[in-house]
Amino acid sequence: MIGYVTMGTNDFEAAVSFYDELLDTIGATRTFEVDNFVAWSTAQSSPALAISKPFDGQPATVGNGAMVAIALDSTAKVDAFHAKVMELGGSDEGAPGPRGDIFYAGYFRDLDGNKLNAFCMTHK
């Protein structure tokens, strides 16, 4: 149902570098790219994560309450992804760990302050 999610950036080159390196760790590559817009996904038919300079020319701001969740298939991958974010200069918004009985997630902010998480569903 969801085709892609776009987050704004005020430093396009730094954001592209951050997401190129981070998303490579889960096999995502650039699937669409034009001036001031890049989208990454694991397949052309899969949902994508994109960054863009705002179309209206105003500064990008962080949406209060908005968050992008990246689905992974193991707690080890969530841990590794969160660690890579920290290595790349992102900030911690909640260390990886269980949230409830079957949900495992690590929360973070990218270089522009956009809030994301990496998660997986665990089964009892």
pLDDT per residue rounded down to tens, the chain (124 residues): 789 999 999 999 999 999 999 999 999 999 999 999 999 999 989 999 999 999 899 999 988 889 999 999 999 999 999 999 999 999 999 999 999 999 999 999 999 999 999 999 998 6
Architecture of domain 4-54+67-121 in this structure = Roll (3.10)
pTM score: 0.90
Mark out the alpha helices in 1-118 (DSSP H runs).
12-24, 75-87
Q: Delimit the domains of the chain by residue range.
A: 4-54+67-121
For residue 7, what are its two tokens?
A: 């987050």
Q: How many CB atoms lie within 10 A of CB 62?
A: 14
Q: How far apart are the first and last CA of the chain?
A: 28
